Amino acid sequence: MMMLIYWGLPIFLFFSGVMVFVFNCKHLLVMLLSLEFMVLSLFMMLFIYLNMFMYESFFSMMFLTFCVCEGALGLGILVSMIRTHGNDYFNSFSVLQC
């Protein structure tokens, strides 16, 4: 029963983040938040996995560092998109304009 709680919650959180990412494609900010939610659920699964086998948490801290870098890059893209286009709608953003 405890294994179901340990693995069920992060898997449910990950798939709820995937559903938000797939079904809400209008704003870039909502998509970035759902990606960060998925990354945090993956961090939770990695931390549970490493603690279950009594490994050190060095790899999880490295994973968290790369996740922070990914979040900062996403926010930088969001700011540049808002400065150039005026909003964060995907409908107004065309790849051919760049």
How large a percentage of the chain has pLDDT more than 70?
A: 89
Q: What are the residue ranges in the chain where pLDDT is below 50?
A: 96, 98
Is there a contact between 21 and 34 (Cβ–Cβ < 8 Å)? yes
pLDDT at position 95, please? Answer: 56
Range of the domain at 83: 2-97
Q: How many domains does the chain have?
A: 1
Tens of pLDDT along 5-24? 778 888 898 999 899 888 87
Query: Please, where are the H alpha helices in the chain?
Result: 2-23, 28-52, 58-85
Q: What is the CATH number of the domain that holds 72?
A: 1.10.287.3510
Task: Tell me the whole-structure pTM to 2 decimals.
Answer: 0.79
Nearest to 74 by CA among 26, 22, 36: 36
